[in-house]
């Protein structure tokens, strides 16, 4: 037995069939004549239908029915295409707009490739130094072609400077430098080797600003003075000056930077088995030995020795005690020929190692933008504003557990 279709269902089917027949007829006429009219378009796409107002009579295929897109609040349809947008957006992946910097005044981060935070932090410290950055940008194209690492560094700096992205992909640079992105390395060793590599790569540059940029910014000189306690004369080797690119300071047993600098420049007593042979006296005598600062660089890099070697276990241990440092540092009084004026340094960057283990943990950098005066935290891809005085407004400094400190010589010094 078969049920007779209702009149309503029959009417719907008939109207649909009528529409299909009408559309087919129009299409046949267009094909035969090779032309179409505005009325043909209105009929084919049902443009003649009225704009829906809550949509009771319009069909879902009407171009003037918007209920499938944004259902009106007073309409009968409460769901539509836009109700599924979160699912659709999620299937498309991350929103690329979120990968853009909020402002050109916000520095860009660097992608962490696994264990490259130590390199990222150093690179950000170097990039944020405008003099160093300008020196790298001035390198001629021919020299860049000869030195792939130098070429990739200039490209990386260009992206950090001009790209609208929130963080820059560092893979090409890391690959060219042949770093193992799965192994955590020491930032101090990386900086030392990297500056040495740059110095060799730039020595043939025809641009003066580029050729000596590493030496001009980071190189100072010291001498190791040995003085006889009997005749008071210095050894012949005492007049020899040695270059340095950073001062390595002990922090074990010290609570602040002044104490560590005092220790670095302190006198060491040579007596007993450690007596010194004085050529003037012609015999072994008691003596003193010390380091004398001869010249200071424009950017003073201080390496805080947080890792100490334990002879009993032949392992390294990290010193986790707090260590304070000033915002303004007067190094003139510490020169071998003291200077009351000049050699005033202002804290410009701090590199911090988070974690208690020596061969693991995480590096971040706190760096001051010399142009705006704002401090920023560089944590790989993430860059956060710290404000004008993250370590306090006075010059007493802070007790952040830093490992590296970069100090920029004050203007006019």
H-assigned helices in 163-303: 171-176, 187-202, 208-211, 213-218, 257-264
Tokens at residue 369, please?
């933008």
Rg of the Cα trace of the chain?
36
Q: Tell me how far CA of residue 301 lies from CA of 126, 222, 243, in angstroms.
A: 11, 14, 13
Q: Which strand (E) or helix (H) includes residue 299?
A: strand 299-305
Residues labelled catalytic: 117, 362
Residue the block writes with tokens 């046949």: 28
Beta carbons within 10 angstroms of residue 58's beta carbon: 19
Tokens at residue 170, please?
């560092």
Beta carbons within 10 angstroms of residue 396's beta carbon: 13
Beta carbons within 10 angstroms of residue 21's beta carbon: 10
Query: Which residues, at least 6 apart from 301, have a Cβ–Cβ distance to it below 8 Å?
Result: 191, 218, 245, 246, 247, 404, 405, 406, 407
Mapping DSSP to helix (H, G, I), strand (E, B) and coil, where does residue 16 land?
Answer: helix
Mapping DSSP to helix (H, G, I), strand (E, B) and coil, where does residue 58 land?
Answer: coil
């Amino acid at each position: 037995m078969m049920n007779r279709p209702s009149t309503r269902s029959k009417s719907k089917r008939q109207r649909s069939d009528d529409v299909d027949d009408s559309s087919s007829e129009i299409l046949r006429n267009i094909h035969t004549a090779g032309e179409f009219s505005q009325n043909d378009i209105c009929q084919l796409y049902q443009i003649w239908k009225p704009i829906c107002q809550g949509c009771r009579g319009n069909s879902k295929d009407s171009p003037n029915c918007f209920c499938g897109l944004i259902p009106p609040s007073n309409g009968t349809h409460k769901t539509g295409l836009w109700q599924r947008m979160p699912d659709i957006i999620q299937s498309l992946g991350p929103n690329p707009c979120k990968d853009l910097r909020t402002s050109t005044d916000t520095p860009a981060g660097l992608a962490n490739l696994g264990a490259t935070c130590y390199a990222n932090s150093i690179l950000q410290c170097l990039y944020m130094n405008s003099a160093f950055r300008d020196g790298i940008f001035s390198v001629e194209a021919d020299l860049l072609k000869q030195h792939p690492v130098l070429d990739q560094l200039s490209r990386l700096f260009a992206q950090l400077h001009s790209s609208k992205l929130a963080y820059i992909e560092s893979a090409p640079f890391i690959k060219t430098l042949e770093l193992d992105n799965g192994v955590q390395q020491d930032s101090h060793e990386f900086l030392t080797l990297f500056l040495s590599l740059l110095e060799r790569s730039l020595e043939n540059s025809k641009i003066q600003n580029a050729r000596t940029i590493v030496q001009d910014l980071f190189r100072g000189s010291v001498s190791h003075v040995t003085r006889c306690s009997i005749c008071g004369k210095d050894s012949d080797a005492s007049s020899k000056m040695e270059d340095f690119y950073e001062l390595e300071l002990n922090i074990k047993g010290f609570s602040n930077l002044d104490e560590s600098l005092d220790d670095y420049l302190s006198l060491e007593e040579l007596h007993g088995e450690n007596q010194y042979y004085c050529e003037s006296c012609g015999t072994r005598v008691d003596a003193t030995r010390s380091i004398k600062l001869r010249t200071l660089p424009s950017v003073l890099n201080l390496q805080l020795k947080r890792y100490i070697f334990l002879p009993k276990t032949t392992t390294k241990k990290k010193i986790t005690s707090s260590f304070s440092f000033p915002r303004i540092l007067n190094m003139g009084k510490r020169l071998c020929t003291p200077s009351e004026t000049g050699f005033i340094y202002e804290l410009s960057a701090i590199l911090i190692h988070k974690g208690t283990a020596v061969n693991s943990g995480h590096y971040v950098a706190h760096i001051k933008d010399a142009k705006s005066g704002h401090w920023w935290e560089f944590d790989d891809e993430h860059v956060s504003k710290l404000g004008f005085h993250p370590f306090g407004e006075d010059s007493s400094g802070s007790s952040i557990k830093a490992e590296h400190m970069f100090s920029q010589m004050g203007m006019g010094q």
